[in-house]
């Protein structure tokens, strides 16, 4: 009888303490600080709308909202090599030299989607809102590179 209780206890413990999905996804502070995030806002047409956030522990959280290859909530574990590359891309693009908004006077056609970009190197942070109008080419190239990189990650679905 004691053996049966023992095995049932082990089964119950393993059932509730293990799983395929990381349990800390819903608790952002357990993932460390945000290294970078990118978000695309909607337009009047079929522009992709999504948010992606990369944490210092290598966890990438993605939420595809509209007109994206993947719609819904996903996660991926990013290698330390990929983390280093992403950080390098931001630094090489001169992220800290860009303005906080493009266009600077905030006058742009209302149909254009925005790209919201955030980066932290651990010492400095930068937030940029780019409405896709009079944007410097290196910033547009960085946004596209990050977007492509996010889309090729091995994103796994998770439910909130």
Evaluate whether 138 touches 94 at the Cβ level (below 8 Å). yes
- For residue 36, give both structure tokens: 């970078």
Per-residue DSSP letter, 78: P
160 residues of the chain, pLDDT tens digit each: 566 555 455 544 544 444 445 555 556 677 889 999 999 999 989 999 999 999 999 999 999 999 998 999 999 999 999 999 999 999 999 999 999 999 888 787 777 889 999 999 999 999 999 998 889 999 999 999 999 999 999 999 987 5
pTM above 0.85, yes or no: no
- For residue 8, give both structure tokens: 């049932």
Q: Which three-class secondary structure state does DSSP give residue 117?
A: strand
**CA–CA separation, 104 vs 53, rounded Å?**
25
Q: Which three-class secondary structure state does DSSP give residue 92?
A: helix
Instruction: Give all domains of the chain, ordered by start, each with its CATH number.
Output: 31-157 (3.30.1560.10)
* Percent of the chain residues topping a pLDDT of 90: 67
**CA–CA separation, 104 vs 84, rounded Å?**
30
């Amino acid at each position: 009888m004691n053996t049966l209780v023992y095995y049932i206890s082990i089964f119950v413990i393993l059932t509730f303490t293990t799983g395929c999905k990381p349990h800390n996804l819903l608790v952002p502070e357990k993932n460390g600080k945000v290294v970078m995030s990118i978000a695309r806002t909607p337009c009047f047409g079929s522009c992709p709308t999504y948010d992606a956030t990369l944490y210092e522990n290598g966890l990438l959280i993605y939420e595809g909202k509209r007109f994206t290859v993947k719609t819904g909530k996903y996660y991926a574990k990013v290698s330390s090599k990929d983390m280093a590359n992403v950080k390098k891309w931001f630094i090489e693009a001169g992220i800290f030299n860009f303005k906080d908004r493009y266009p600077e006077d905030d006058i742009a056609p209302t149909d254009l989607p925005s790209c919201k970009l955030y980066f932290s190197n651990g010492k400095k942070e930068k937030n940029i809102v780019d409405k896709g109008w009079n944007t410097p080419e290196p910033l547009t190239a960085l946004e596209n590179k990050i977007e492509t990189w996010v889309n090729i990650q091995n994103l796994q679905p998770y439910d909130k």
